[in-house]
Structure 1
Amino acid sequence: MRSPIPDYLAEVHDTCGELLGGAVADYIPELAAADPDTFAIALATVDGTVYAAGEADHRFTIQSMSKPFTYGIALADRGLDQVLAKVGVEPSGEAFNEISLDPDTGQPRNPMINAGAILTHSLVEGEDADARFEHLRQTFSRIAGHPLPMDEDVFTSEWATTHRNLAMGHMLKAVGVLDIDPVDAVEGYVRQCSITVNCRDLAMMAATLANGGVQPASGELIFRRRVVRQVLSVMTTCGMYDAAGDWLTTVGIPAKSGVSGGIIGALPGQVGIAVFSPRLDEHGNSVRGLRAFERLSRDMGMHLMDVTRDARTSLRGSYVTDGDHPTEVHKVQGDLRFAGVESLVRAVSAQPPRASRVAFDLTRVSEIDDVSTRVLLEVIRRLHLDDKVEVLIIDPDHVLGEHGVEVPYARRLHHVRELTAS
């Protein structure tokens, strides 16, 4: 059986790809040359599975999507107190490149605007500018799961036009909050923004944050949970700049955008998401990316404030019964939401059915949300029509199909004991 999740992402990609509004960033010559029609979506689970649609292998520069990860590195290197003494955590309500500091402290208001990101870069450990950048690049590579290069052409183009950022660097030095040479700090920040990634890389990097700082594929602990909590909190309130409030209420996923056209989102305990499309709106955020995130959040119940009551693994186990009517049984538990139903779908679709009957034991399931209901119904349909197996639902409390939802292609049982009698 084919998993329906790639099909869903493809449908979101096709629908959102019809949007033609916005324009590519033109204040950096290399970015102005980007193909405005490139569009990709990737979703990575906290156990390392990546789903993608569109041009997910297309490479581009990370730009401001680097800021949460650099903030995490600075927190890990210096500790929370030292970083907070230099960079605040309050939303600025201003554009990403606004030249402004807190009037009382002289600090940048948060690490997601450029002034704060320049100062944050200066807090990454290293004896000089080259050492700081290499420490940062290597850590980014560990988070992505493979070496990430820097685009020299984009760096050269951006460095030649970065007068506003240089003004911020000199301003930070003038008020006494920047300890290193301001030109070195700005150059390092521009190099940081010129690291290249693709949508799959970004989804895995976001999934590392969603996974409590553990890289999903390698299992390596990159950031401790206290660091991740701080990073995700600041992403939630400041990651989308002066559109942060609208984003939080509409999408509700900690996120960060970049002027190359990407947006990353990390939903704690569930998934990392990345979208890339170069056409930007007036806030500097990808037009198609915004719409794609809205769809994913709405369809999959991913809003941060829509909290599950049980974050444990939903798939409790699978086995095949003995007897005259062998049945492949999948035991499910807890509240079933997207992350849980995805693991169930993966278990079912990883190999052909091991018996002529497949049963889903929902005895221990207390609630199934709308998206999980739709996904499970599609799995049942595909098992019945594509794999030609009989599907059984062990559902004594009718958690699947409550509120009048039809459950075609499956036969209901009230107890697992009925498998041997049917």
Structure 2
Amino acid sequence: MLTMPIPEYLSEILDNVRAHTSGEVADYIPELKSANPHPLAVALCTVDGHIYSSGDDEIEFTMQSISKPFAYALALQECGPTEVFAAVAVEPSGEAFNELSLDGENRPMNPMINAGAIAINQLINGADSTVEDRVEKLRKYFSELAGRELTIDRVLAESELGAADRNMSIAHMLRNYGVIEDEAHDAVLSYTLQCAIKVTARDLAVMTATLAAGGTHPITGKKLLDARVCRLTLSVMASAGMYDEAGQWLSTVGIPAKSGVAGGLIGILPGQLGIATFSPRLNAKGNSVRGVEIFKQLSDDMGLHLMSTEPVSGHAVRSITREGDTTFIRMQGAMNFSASESFLHAIVEHKFQGNLVVLDLSRVLTFHSVAIRMIKEGLKRIRDAGFEVAILDPDDVLPDVRFSDGTVCSQIT
């Protein structure tokens, strides 16, 4: 039976970054200060609902600031953009995530910094909501996005509240200017419990894939958010999700992202997939050291940069048909990561018969480097399953037909 090579590729990436042991766990929250610094995980979820992961992908950790874009999306869905924009602006702040600052209209600069996130939290479930009802609304919504029941780490939340002087100051500032109505303590408690919801890297990959898919859950198919809400959320993530490192991130990695001080990091490629990593050691900007390195490698390998000028394919596999003892896999368009993942998934599901499998590339335009690797690995696995394989490539779009073991794939002219 054929298997997918993508988890093996993800394992290689983890091995490449494992030696990066710089950075420190967050030390301003007692429970996080004593966290194990060693876990390492990566997970991907496509908009078609295919999940791939490697490493410590089942270890739970608290969302912390990764909760911010999902809470923002819920506020937009519940209240509408007009009400949300009246409370929180959408401009990059260029300041630290916990800065006490407002714009000229006395609004937090964006929903990704703490001031904006606290204000957004207070919009959820209405101004008259109790703390517990508001937090339960968020927990249930996050659970729907993850596709399983999520829980709250109340021990960590209590620990975080003991060191919440900065957030208390922010809440008092917001209350002073009429941005929030709750008492400062209740506002910070509600926001802290939101941040203490526990997830795994696989959970986050599914949650982000829902945003990538315009609000349709990739596994259940349920419509959870409007497409416009997803677009607005991704736009703010792209410009402000990585705080005062956002400009560098957009230049080098080039996808909407959000980090959390527990070590989580998420990224979204609209229309294609969601990505999540987990590694607790943080750099000076509060972002996961190894998580950032993983994203850089994924972006380079997979051609994920939003500003990439390479064409993107839609339905990569035109058909898989059998003619006598020969099975033809007909491909089309530009071969990037998503296209080659579609190819791999198709061949894993297909029950091959006969003797010969031919990959027809006559309608393929280009190959990204990661697609070359994935397509060739898929063909090798078909060959190793006992079939002869060959390539029909009249325009020579696949520059190298040598497999990883040094053998050469036959070509049909």
TM-score (norm. length: structure 2): 0.95
Which residue matches 1:294? 296
For residue 311 of structure 1, report the CA deviation from its aligned partner: 4.2
- Pick which of 34-43 and 371-380 moved more: 371-380
For residue 379 of structure 1, report the CA deviation from its aligned partner: 2.1
For residue 374 of structure 1, report the CA deviation from its aligned partner: 1.9
- Residues 272/259 of structure 1: CA separation in 2 closer, same or farther (3 Å cut): same
Which residue matches 1:113? 113
For residue 383 of structure 1, report the CA deviation from its aligned partner: 2.7
**Percentage identity across aligned positions?**
47
SS in 1 for 2:332: strand
CA contact (8 A) 1:269 1:311 kept: no
CA distance in 1 between partners of 2:310 and 2:274 (Å): 17
CA contact (8 A) 2:402 2:408 kept: no
Structure 2 portions without partners, runs of 5+: none
For residue 319 of structure 1, report the CA deviation from its aligned partner: 2.0
- Pick which of 69-78 and 328-337 moved more: 328-337
1:255-300 Cα deviation digits (max 9, x unpaired): 0000000100011111111000000000000000000100100011
Q: Could you tell me which amino acid in structure 2 is paired with residue 320 of structure 1?
A: R
For residue 180 of structure 1, report the CA deviation from its aligned partner: 3.1
CA contact (8 A) 2:62 2:262 kept: yes
* Pairs within 5 Å for 1:276-315: 276-315=278-317
CA distance in 1 between partners of 2:294 and 2:229 (Å): 28
For residue 307 of structure 1, report the CA deviation from its aligned partner: 4.5
Which residue matches 1:353? 352
CA distance in 1 between partners of 2:312 and 2:37 (Å): 42
CA distance in 1 between partners of 2:280 and 2:265 (Å): 10
Which residue matches 1:393? 391
CA distance in 2 between partners of 1:161 and 1:311 (Å): 49
CA distance in 2 between partners of 1:311 and 1:158 (Å): 46
CA distance in 2 between partners of 1:220 and 1:367 (Å): 34
SS in 2 for 1:320: strand
* Pairs within 5 Å for 1:56-205: 56-102=57-103, 104-126=104-126, 127-205=129-207
CA distance in 2 between partners of 1:34 and 1:374 (Å): 37
- Pick which of 192-201 and 117-126 moved more: 117-126
CA contact (8 A) 2:401 2:409 kept: no
For residue 351 of structure 1, report the CA deviation from its aligned partner: 5.4
SS in 1 for 2:389: strand
CA distance in 2 between partners of 1:356 and 1:179 (Å): 72
Which residue matches 1:50? 51
For residue 182 of structure 1, report the CA deviation from its aligned partner: 2.7
Which residue matches 2:266? 264
1:328-370 Cα deviation digits (max 9, x unpaired): 2222111111011001111213356333211112222222212
CA distance in 2 between partners of 1:43 and 1:218 (Å): 17
CA contact (8 A) 1:380 1:409 kept: no
- Residues 400/250 of structure 1: CA separation in 2 closer, same or farther (3 Å cut): same
CA contact (8 A) 1:309 1:335 kept: yes
Q: Could you tell me which amino acid in structure 2 is paired with residue 380 of structure 1?
A: L
Q: Could you tell me which amino acid in structure 2 is paired with residue 18 of structure 1?
A: A
For residue 174 of structure 1, report the CA deviation from its aligned partner: 0.3
| Counterpart check, 1:344 vs 2:343 | yes
CA distance in 2 between partners of 1:41 and 1:143 (Å): 18
CA distance in 2 between partners of 1:359 and 1:280 (Å): 48
For residue 93 of structure 1, report the CA deviation from its aligned partner: 0.8
Q: Which runs of 4+ in 1 moved over 6 A?
A: none
CA distance in 2 between partners of 1:108 and 1:25 (Å): 24
For residue 397 of structure 1, report the CA deviation from its aligned partner: 1.7
1:75-116 Cα deviation digits (max 9, x unpaired): 0011111111110111111111111111x1111000000000
CA distance in 2 between partners of 1:176 and 1:363 (Å): 63
For residue 412 of structure 1, report the CA deviation from its aligned partner: 2.1
- Residues 241/189 of structure 1: CA separation in 2 closer, same or farther (3 Å cut): same
For residue 129 of structure 1, report the CA deviation from its aligned partner: 2.0
CA contact (8 A) 1:200 1:274 kept: yes
Which residue matches 1:366? 365
- Pick which of 116-125 and 173-182 moved more: 173-182
Which residue matches 1:222? 224
Which residue matches 2:326? 327
CA distance in 1 between partners of 2:19 and 2:352 (Å): 38
For residue 44 of structure 1, report the CA deviation from its aligned partner: 0.9
Q: CA RMSD in A?
A: 1.5
Which residue matches 1:11? 12
Which residue matches 2:42? 41
CA distance in 1 between partners of 2:84 and 2:354 (Å): 57
SS in 1 for 2:87: coil
CA contact (8 A) 1:65 1:256 kept: yes
